[in-house]
Every structure is written in structure tokens, then in C-alpha cells.
Amino acid sequence: MKPKYLERVPELDGMIEKARVVTIVTHTHPDGDAIGSGLAMKHYLRKCRGKDACLVVPDPVPDTLAFLIADEPEGEILTHSRTPLQASRQVADSDLILCQDFNAFSRTAGLETALRTSPVPKILIDHHLNPDFNAFRLAFSTPDISSTSEYVYWILKEMPDIGGEASRLPAAARKHLLAGMTTDTNNFANSVFPSTLKMASELLDAGEDRDTLLAELYNNYRENRIRVMGYLLYEKLKITPEGAAYMILTKEDQDRFDLRDGESEGFVNMPLEIDRVCLSLFLKEEEGHFRVSLRSKKGVSANDCAMACFHGGGHELAAGGKLYFPEDVPAPSSAEAYILKVIKRFFKS
């Protein structure tokens, strides 16, 4: 039986049919799922539906994921932080906007105003908790799916022209969907549902080369990433009596190791390998704030902690947020004291 979360695909199909210019927007600091699901949708809309489709990202795709965009034609991916006018104009000139892998416009940084002021239908395709339903004409949203890439896969398979056949999807769309799902499940370690394995199986059947994809995703880093990982685990990892592990990557650390955007992806998962750790926090210093990543084991909610302590949210066991200075803490050096205070309070509540 078709799951409830796919019931409204015919409405989406109709809206796509009527549109000429379709823009896909995704979240700030785009990850593999954001880029993978966004590009897969773009390829489908262009190749199968003849639409003028474009992906707009708030900030650049990190070098670690550059292989995903290597073959993309110029002008089909716009980056708001690099070309704000062009990116905002693309959103403003669209007939239809697909908002993928985020739950509220506030997650799109500089694109928020363009999205809010656009009068055209906006469609949500996402798997995070607490979607802002009021902002969207139509919402495809469930936390019971591994990734937005998996969601896009099942939606596209429901489209009349695809007719349930993965082999009818453009090859580039298949590759991007497999990449997005793989990164968001941390290579099948988290949020894997029966449907997730079915998707993977069907994509392999359709000829996807998973070995090459894994090599591109996981065996292609600069040495710096591995060196800084060792340094953090050896020198900086701390664990509170409640079992909360935290690591703080300062600006100074990033300069010392010449760390680039995206190169600390996944570090937050490592402390969960320790038996007594039930919550892991990773703080990365940026201009005026720390970006905070949270991961937890069953029974502890990373989402609740992100909402209560870091102006954020996400999923039950994987969430993110921010810690601002001087608003939340007087200076970056006060972050550790803040963590110790809020973690104690969080575990008491």
C-alpha cells in the first residue's frame, strides 16, 4: 500500500505541469542530502519535464562535496552568498518553488526574504521535526524517512512519466539521490527504514555504482581533516558526569590546521562510540557564533537539547543550532562554561 506521505504527489505533478521556471531552494551550509536531493529534482525537472529548473543554495557547496557539482552546467546552481542579486532574482522570477531539506524559511539565511515575499506556490519536501506548515501551499513532510533524498526518490517514482521504474530517472538524479541518502544516514548507520534499503536495492539494480560513490564520499579527504580529528579526540574531548561529550573547535584550531568548510563534518558522531556517552556536542567557531552539532543515543533527545539551549532543532537523535557571542556568551572563551551550565539543567529537566 502507498504510504500516506505520498498521497499528494498528483497535486505536485499538476503544479509542475503548469510551471515554466521552477526553483529548488535548500538550507544554509548545504550537506549531501540538501545538494543530492536538490540536484536530483533539478535533473528530473529539466530532463523529464522540460522545465527551466535551477538549484539555489544560501552558501557554497563545500569542497568535500565538489564532486557532486563537477558536471553541473554554469547557471543551474546559484549561490546566494556569492551572487545575492542573481540568486534572489531567480527566486522572485519562479513560477514554483520547491523547498527541500529544511522545515522553515529561517533555515535559508539570506534567501529568507525572497522566499517570504514570493507570491508563487511553495512546496515543502523534508524530513525534519516541526515543519512550518503555514509557509507552504503543499507539504511533503515526515520524520519517518531517512532523508530528503529518499523522499524525493519515492515522490519521483510516483510521477506518471516515471511509472515506478527507477531506470526511467535520469542517471544523474539516481546518483545524487543515492549520495544524499548515504550521507544523511551516515552510510546506513542511522535513520534506516525498510524503505531506505528498498531504495538502495532498486538503485543498485538500476546500475548505480556504490563503490565509486563511497570512495568519492569517504576516501577522498585532505590529510588535514584526519590530523585535526586526532587532535580533537586526544586533546579536546571532554565528558560530563551526565555522559555528555563535547568538543570545541576554535578559530585558532581551524587556522592551525588550515581546515576548510565541510572538513569537520561527522566529527560529532565519534564520541558516541564511548559507552557512557549519551549526547555529543560539537561546536565550531564562526563569525559571531558557534555552529553547534548534536547527536544522541535513544532515550536522550538531541532535538530537545538543540531547541532548549542552542536556538536550533532537527531530528530526535541528530540536531543543530547556534551559540551566539556576545548575545548568549560574552566571548568564545566562555562557551565551555555555558555548555556545562546548560547540560546540567537539560539532564535535570
Residues found near ligand 5GP in the complex (CB under 6 A): 27, 107, 128, 293, 312-315, 318-322
Q: Does 158 bind Mn ion (CB under 5 A)?
A: no
- Other Cβ atoms closer than 10 A to 210: 14
Residue nearest to ligand 5GP (CB): 320
Q: Burial code of 12-33, b = ≥16 C-beta within 10 A, e = fewer?
A: beebbeebeebbbbbbbbbbbb
**What type of residue is 324?**
Y
Q: Considering beta carbons, is residue 162 or 192 the nearer one to ligand 5GP?
A: 192
Q: How far is the CB of 11 from ligand 5GP (least distance, A)?
A: 26
Q: How far is the CB of 265 from Mn ion (least distance, A)?
A: 13
Q: Considering beta carbons, is residue 120 or 307 the nearer one to ligand 5GP?
A: 307
Tell me the C-alpha distance between 288 and 298, whole Å.
32
Q: How far is the CB of 293 from ligand 5GP (least distance, A)?
A: 3
Tell me the C-alpha distance between 264 and 255, whole Å.
13
Residue nearest to Mn ion (CB): 33
Q: CA 265 → CA 229, 258, 259, 282, 310, distances in Å? A: 10, 15, 11, 10, 19
State the binding partner of 319 from ligand 5GP, Mn ion, none, CB within 5 to 8 A by kind: ligand 5GP
Q: How far is the CB of 128 from ligand 5GP (least distance, A)?
A: 6
Inter-residue contact 236 to 254 (CB < 8 Å)? no
Q: The sheet that has 289-296: what strands, in order across it? A: 238-239, 244-249, 279-286, 289-296, 318-324, 313-314
Tell me the C-alpha distance between 249 and 282, whole Å.
8
Q: How far is the CB of 184 from Mn ion (least distance, A)?
A: 5
State the binding partner of 332 from ligand 5GP, Mn ion, none, CB within 5 to 8 A by kind: none
Give the x-and-dash track for 28-67 against Mn ion (CB under 5 A).
-----x----------------------------------
Which parts of this chain interact with Mn ion (CB under 5 A)? Answer: 33, 101, 147-148, 184
